[in-house]
Chains A and B, each alone.
Chain A
Amino acid sequence: MDFRFSDDQLTLATSVRDYLSGTHGPEVLRHLDEAGPRDPAIWQGLVDMGLTGLLVPEAHGGLGMGLIEAALIAAECGRACLAEPLVDTAFVGVPWLLSQGQTDGLADVVAGTRKLAPAHAINPWVADGDGDALVSVDPLRKLTVRVERSRDTAAQGVSTSLDANGAGDDYLLNLGALMSAAQLVGLADAMLHQAVEYAKLRTQFGQPIGAFQGIKHQLASCSVAIEFAKPVVWRAAAALQDGLASAAAHVSHAKLAASDAAMLTAETAIQVHGAMGYTYEVDLHFWMKRSWALCGAWGDRAFHLKRIDDAVLGGSLPIGPEHTFA
């Protein structure tokens, strides 16, 4: 058992974080929210870093990495509240296509000219698919109506809606839930950071509000929730990567832990910002709304709790001393 990441993995994640903090700040979110045109350079930068091909085998022009690296980078996408469909395209769509033996068109994904919008029976809508966008809570994550058949419009260089048939495909579901969980811990980290910085700056009663236990204890509780959610997410990524029979239960645990941490942090961060946190002017709400949207996507809390209790009580997850923490 070794929960450490390799230097290469950490360097990769840091470089993505640096790239996004340099090019994809809150002003980009505001610009897009005001219906400003998308800056293609941001997507191109992600492509140039090889991220669209992160999970594509080297034989098809990708980097051939695994879900652990992808989850690390998805967390960075959450931290930046990224408004580009990188996670769905490269970390959900690609591994699912590979699992189906579909390698046609992967070169276009690597090149960044083909984006994937995975559809699944568990989601009423498709995020960032083609078609008319619905008005959704997260102004930067376009939702469209799910179509029954896949429409491959890759030739035009626009999104492809993947449809994993009516009943839903467990692997696709697990990929979607895992990558949502990874983004959620990044989102939670970012919201906690914003709240901590605000609590250090804002003074009332002659001192920074962060000096009051009523404030600092709340933020400390968020940190506890986030730090305990992270290893659960990495564990789920490793389990899904290794194809363990228990992977579904690990993924559900990760989705629950990350959702709880993100929702607690969203609520607390607003509270710490006071009335400012309730305004559109403070950036926090973009992160909060993305968190809210991802908590509901790829199976809500009731769904994932049921998967765990089915696994524990239904016998599919082996229990007993010899299996403890296996």
Chain B
Amino acid sequence: MSTAESKESAREIVVPGELLAISGKRAGPGTYSEGGKIFASQLGIKSVRPDTISVVPLSGQYMPLRGDLVVGKIVDVGASNWLVDINSPYPAPLHVNEVPWRVEFGETGRFMSVGDVVLLKIVGHDEQMRIQVSMQDHGLRKLTGGMVLEVSPSKVPRVIGKNGSMIQMLKNMTGCRIYVGQNGRIWIDGELDSIVRAVQAIRMIEEEAHAQGLTEKVKQLLEKSSERGA
């Protein structure tokens, strides 16, 4: 813990255009290189690793990446596809061939309609950012019941925690079923008061995303709220 904390206190906030390194490293995400030097391209926290230098952004839109799990909302229904809003600048068409059911032409509305929430996987995108999504993988499905919470996509890694530690603790301590989409949408289902507790905890993570010892704080909050409920 002490090593993790000393690393966190060394966190340096950088702004676009700031010089990060003279040379010798690879320019990671959130950076760009020009004339052999590496500069920050986004407002974020500088992260130095042996071979690369990158910036962890503090804000920004969700950009779909191959393999991402996302929570989408159906916004339009076509004869052979659904249009899904995945909280990014690009809408994602979901074709009938990519769902786990056999859907006849024009029968799409009987399976899912506008407003439904689905768990999707990003299959990929082309250079024009036309997105391909799929529901054909285990665990991917239409999400019924529960509620959807939105957080900033840049804070998703904090909600999940290292190796899923944060989200695992949330699930264990509230007993809720939770899916965190990489696009910043979080689906929660369970008892009403445990949902309330989970939402409270997530809002706290969002508020103090770059505070130290966050996991411990969230744990205390959840313990306190569970005592009150009992």
Asked if chains A and B come from one complex, the reply is no
